[in-house]
Amino acid sequence: MDTNRRDFLMGALWMGAAAATVGCTSGKARTACCAGAPGCMSGYADKPFKELRVGVVGLGRGSLGIDLGKFPNVKITAICDITQSRIDRALARCAKNKIPTPRIFTGSPEAWKQMCEWDQVDLVYNGTPWQLHVPIALYAMEHGKHVVVEVPSALTLDDCWALVETSERTRRHCMQLENCCYGETEMLALNMCRQGLFGTLVHGEGAYIHDLRKSCYGKFDPATGSGGYWDYWRLRYNRAHGGNQYPTHGLGPICIDMDINRGDNFDYLVSVDSIQAGFQEYGKGKFGAGSPEAGWKVKMGDMNTTIIKTKLGRTIMVQHNVTGPRPYSRINLISGTKGMLQDYPLRIALEKVLGEGAHAFNEKETAELREKYKHPLWKTAGEYAKIHGGHGGMDFLMLLRLAWCLQMGQPLDMNVYDLAAWCSLNELTEKSADSRGRSMDVPDFTRGAWKTQKPWGFEDVDLAKMGLNLQKG
Ligand SMILES: NC(=O)c1ccc[n+]([C@@H]2O[C@H](COP(=O)([O-])OP(=O)(O)OC[C@H]3O[C@@H](n4cnc5c(N)ncnc54)[C@H](O)[C@@H]3O)[C@@H](O)[C@H]2O)c1
């Protein structure tokens, strides 16, 4: 058996083991979760953390979590990974930011269990490959830890329910790290929605269009921690599954605009996959017709297009394409009865007088509106975030809000119901696409609480209260 093939088979076994850890909860009757009931996590806040102790697992993208240690009264007490080069890189990041050396958990694929059990951790920051998100999150909550999880936090409906039920039972936060909700454009759109500038919201469009051919087919080098995804984890999933596998970057911000789980909710969706050609041609073209890579079959279509209908009758279009030479885009379109905003590039059109129309985008007006309606959080920390934080600043703002909410004893911006609703697309879009775009009902993970929950307002932080001086930071 050639090495590449054996690698893939071993990966399949590993993925099976991860799923077994989670356990299956499908078909179980769901108990009611009404607003205010003891188990409900909508609006839930823990006691304020005077000192927040964080354990970070998965030190690729997850090493962003180390930056929480830059905030006053937040300590990175633990890091965990199975790749030494990634641990070394994380330690260098600590040193660069004058963060005291944390305890290291490594040496076994389950070293994260010891980290979750350790009493010097309050919050587990989970930046592992997709297949490990749920097992680690469940284990962390069962051991009394709050948990934040990279995107997509769950891949199946069973796993979404498992996270919801465990979060409710243990009273631990389980938040998805959807950094795009803090993007400059996304928060500008939110601010304009909240001020009624687009009128009644009717339709949104979001996407993840990002050429990932090189990373997905790249061979991860444990010595350097570079070259591709660890153990081809992403391609393994792409090969086995269709549908939209990475829906939340485009979808999350639109859900916030439209108050999904907080006044509106998903009703059903339909989804269609295009042919798969991009990865197949890349495999052949890059590695040669006789290579193992050229023979790897991939189920994921190049383009998945999904339309969600909400309970209030709005529509949301979501796309996923990571297999071809298209410029990056999340689309970021939100439109209503009085105007619209869309991104890549940013354009805004508003109707000033009823019925007069907003037929053309106006570059000058867009620039003015961008300044005028800058979100309060962006006014507070946006300039610093742009210089010091990844992805145009949104990574820093997500961490800032997370630290603020936990330190002040406030509900987190995104709760476990948001996580479940947004991640439910993974399974539902695949099922719909596999059955000629059949419509799929989306579960109401809040079990009715969406009707009474408070929408996002104008979330901000008080830097002085946090003891933060961003000029000096
Ligand atoms: N929000 C964003 O903008 C964004 C950006 C990039 C990645 N991500 C997400 O972050 C996650 C990780 O992606 P990545 O690009 O860092 O992948 P990666 O392959 O570069 O890193 C994964 C890390 O997990 C470690 N790991 C694997 N198995 C482990 C185990 N059993 N115990 C401990 N560590 C283990 C690997 O050694 C590696 O360091 C994914 O969910 C991805 O979707 C999000």
Counting atoms of ligand 1 from 1, which one is nearest the CA of 229? 19
Q: Is 109 in the pocket of ligand 1 (CB under 6 A)?
A: yes
Confidence at residue 25, expressed as pLDDT on a 0 to 100 scale:
36
pLDDT recorded at residue 35: 59
Decide if 313 contacts 258 (C-beta within 8 A): no
CATH number of the 41-177 domain: 3.40.50.720
Q: Considering only CA atoms, which residue is closest to atom 7 of ligand 1?
A: 61
Note the pLDDT of residue 370: 96
Atom number, ligand 1, closest to the C-alpha of residue 83: 37
pLDDT at 10: 35
Residue 99 has pLDDT above 60, yes or no: yes
Q: Is the CB of 459 under 6 A from ligand 1?
A: no
The per-residue pLDDT for 32 is 60
Domain 181-376+416-451 matching CATH 3.30.360.10: the answer reads yes
Residue nearest to atom 37 of ligand 1 (CA): 83
Q: For Cα atoms 139, 143, 146, give the angle at the middle one, nearest 5 degrees.
A: 85
- DSSP annotation of 387: H
For ligand 1, say whether the CB of 134 is within 6 Å of any of its atoms: no
Measured from the CB, is residue 121 less than 6 Å from ligand 1?
no
What pLDDT does 3 receive? 32
Report the pLDDT averaged over residues 421-429. Answer: 98
Q: Tell me what the mean pLDDT of segment 384-392 comes to.
A: 92
At residue 17, the pLDDT reads 36
Every domain of the chain and the residues it spans? 41-177, 181-376+416-451
Would you state the pLDDT for residue 472?
A: 60
pTM for the model: 0.94
Residue 8: the pLDDT is 37
Q: Is the minimum distance from the CB of 59 to ligand 1 under 6 angstroms?
A: yes
Q: How far is the CA of 400 from the centre of ligand 1 (A)?
A: 21
* Greater pLDDT, 267 or 19: 267
CA distances from 414 to 14, 310, 325, 380 (A): 30, 19, 33, 20
pLDDT of 27 above 80: no
Task: Confirm or reject: Cβ of 57 under 6 Å from ligand 1.
Answer: yes
How confident is residue 4, by pLDDT bands cut at 50, 70 and 90?
very low
The owner of tokens 């990373």 is: 215
pLDDT value of residue 37: 67
The angle that helices 394-408 and 376-388 make with each other, rounded to 10 degrees, is 120
pLDDT at residue 21, rounded to an integer: 37
Q: What is the mean pLDDT of residues 444-465?
A: 93
Cα of 60 vs centre of ligand 1, distance in Å, is 5
pLDDT digits (tens, 9 = 90+) for 167-208: 999 999 999 999 999 999 999 999 999 999 999 999 999 999
Q: Using pLDDT thresholds of 50, 70 and 90, give the confidence band for residue 12.
A: very low
As a whole number of angstroms, the distance between CA 302 and CA 282 comes to 12
Rounded distance between C-alpha atoms, residue 59 and residue 403, angstroms: 19
Cα(122)–Cα(145) distance, integer angstroms: 5
| pLDDT given for residue 15 in this prediction | 42
Per-residue pLDDT band for 361 (boundaries 50, 70, 90) equals confident
Ligand 1 proximity of 395 Cβ (cutoff 6 Å): no
State percent of the chain over pLDDT 70. Answer: 92
Ligand 1 centroid vs 153 CA: distance in angstroms? 12
Angle of helix 248-257 relative to helix 416-434, nearest 10 degrees?
Answer: 120
| Predicted local confidence at residue 473, as pLDDT | 54
Cα atoms in the 13 Å half-sphere on the side-chain side of 269? 30
**Model confidence at 225: pLDDT above 70:** yes
CB–CB of 351/339 below 8 Å?
A: yes
What is the pLDDT, as a whole number, of residue 36? 60
Q: pLDDT at position 329, please?
A: 98
Q: Is 259 helix (H, G, I), strand (E, B) or coil?
A: coil
Confidence check: pLDDT of 34 > 80? no
Q: What is the pLDDT of residue 31?
A: 58
Q: Which atom of ligand 1 is nearest to the CA of 130?
A: 41
Residues 319, 250: contact at Cβ < 8 Å?
yes
Q: What percent of the chain lies above the pLDDT cut of 90?
A: 87
Q: What is the mean pLDDT of the chain?
A: 92
- 240-255 pLDDT, tens digit per residue, is 999 999 999 999 999 9
Stretch 216-220: mean pLDDT? 97
